[in-house]
Amino acid sequence: MAGIMIHRGSSQIGGCCTEISTGESRILIDFGANLPGTDETAETKDSEMVSKVFGESRKSAVLFTHYHGDHYGLFKKIPEDIPMYIGSLAKDILRILVPYLDREEKEKGLPAVERMSTYKAGKWITPVPGIQVRPLYVDHSALDAYMFCIKVSGKTILFTGDFREHGIVGQENRLERVLNAYVPGPVDVLITEGTMLGRTGEIGNVLVRSEQELGVEAGKLFQQHKYNFVLVSSTNLDSIMEFYHHTPRRLRFVCDLYQALIMITAMRDMERKGSFSQYQPSKQHPVVWVLGKPDSRWAMLRKIGDSMKNPLWFRSVTDEELKRDGFVLLARKNTYPEIYLSPFEALRDKFFDGDGQIIYSMWNGYLKGDHADKDLLRFIGGHPYQVLHTSGHAYVETIAKVIKLANPKTIIPMHTQRPEDFASVPEFAPYHDRVKVIRDGVWLPLDI
Ligand SMILES: [Zn+2]
């Protein structure tokens, strides 16, 4: 019989894997790693996931919603004969990201990335017999993220994955337009993320409400100091583009080669998709200044930059130029302090005291408590810092909007620490009797 099972992620954020099955064949949505620092205490450890999920022989395919580690992170462990699917830009970004993450790892993930097939927004695919999936392009802090509309045994399931609508892709009411255009007929089951239900305390002083607001506030902060160090995830491209466009004309916009490659790969893809002006090169900053000396890897960077309708140029920059003109620098933590000397830390040490500031643009949970990240804290090094970050996840009113549009018979929350609180959220009150909380590993037949 057809059914749904959340293998992991029903009552935690991260490490997700959800099965949708006809009884004979099945798709697995995401195969993520536990969030950093949580594997030890998790109900199911990463090392247990392969035997738990793949310890049987039904025909399977894995579909990734997006490239965040808590959704794709265990991809190397997926048996080679199981097909994997992801968005095409997400795959291109993994081609850059995975070798970077793997530089000190024995097991290299690039061959597995190359094995991934790509799906297209709005186009139905049949990954296994009896299950059709239509990927829906949505806004999230990972670019190229998808919801899935799934047809199985005469039922329609809408699986949100991680989403929001306050970033660049969410503009112009895209979420509503996509759901109206691409979800045919009534939805039987909505499986929705609920990350922000347990993080409502973050909204207020810490968060700006949208990526656009983040850009405006960043512009104001950049006016106040000459040397700006921005700690931001290298794949949080909406925020990166906002920082780029709001860099004052007199300052240089600076990053390293790895970051420049991710940025131009996304910009080229968004140019092809059209209509996202924030992903186009800025007339004010037609040059991105790149740390280090040009080498053979710069050829790819320059080739893509030159091929843009409005070309984006990449040039190397000297410490003297940085000192003279000032900068907005996209910085990253150093995960291997024993082996590497981080260029970002070197620049921080050189320039911070002469009118520098650190702008922290990541989840504040990484700064203290269970998820405290020692590498990020080392970069901040006790200096004062400004927090400027907007959530990658849907606010309560955005989830309520999806519920209203999809009007599902059953609502299953996941990707939240508080699934049992879902039904009592005031915005969800009209639907509280449709909410069904299921636990990891529990089979829910689809004849509900
Ligand atoms: Zn995500």
d(C-alpha 180, C-alpha 313), whole Å: 40
CA of 68 to the centre of ligand 1 (A): 5
Cα angle 110, 114, 116; round to 5? 120
CA of 193 to the centre of ligand 1 (A): 10
CA of 64 to the centre of ligand 1 (A): 11
Task: Tell me what pLDDT residue 150 has.
Answer: 98
Cα distance from N-terminal residue to C-terminal residue, the chain: 12
Show the tokens assigned to 337: 């302090």
CA of 325 to the centre of ligand 1 (A): 36
Across the chain, which has 448 residues, the per-10-residue mean pLDDT values are 95 94 96 89 92 90 98 97 97 97 95 98 98 98 98 97 96 96 93 82 65 96 98 97 98 98 96 88 96 92 94 96 98 91 94 96 88 92 93 93 96 91 91 95 89
CA of 395 to the centre of ligand 1 (A): 14
CA of 71 to the centre of ligand 1 (A): 7
CA of 138 to the centre of ligand 1 (A): 11
CA of 22 to the centre of ligand 1 (A): 27
Task: Tell me what pLDDT residue 199 has.
Answer: 62
CA of 145 to the centre of ligand 1 (A): 8
Task: Tell me what pLDDT residue 305 has.
Answer: 95
204-387: same fold as 3-200+392-445?
A: no
CA of 140 to the centre of ligand 1 (A): 7
CA of 94 to the centre of ligand 1 (A): 14
d(C-alpha 151, C-alpha 233), whole Å: 35
DSSP string, 229-282: EEEE-TT-HHHHHHHHHTS-TTSEEEE-HHHHHHHHHHHHHHHHH---GGGSPP
CATH of domain 204-387: 3.40.50
* Residues contacting 446, CB < 8 A, separation 6+: 1, 2, 3, 4, 152, 153, 155, 188, 189
> What are the sequence ranges of the domains in the chain?
3-200+392-445, 204-387
The radius of gyration of the chain's CA atoms, rounded to the nearest angstrom, is: 22
CA of 270 to the centre of ligand 1 (A): 19
Query: Which amino acid, residue 219?
Result: G
Task: Tell me what pLDDT residue 88 has.
Answer: 97
Nearest C-alpha neighbor of 355 from the set 389, 323, 380, 312: 323
Helix and strand numbers, DSSP H then E, in the chain: 13, 20
d(C-alpha 279, C-alpha 169), whole Å: 10
Could you please state the CATH topology (level 3) that the domain comprising 3-200+392-445 is classified under.
Metallo-beta-lactamase; Chain A (3.60.15)
CA of 162 to the centre of ligand 1 (A): 5
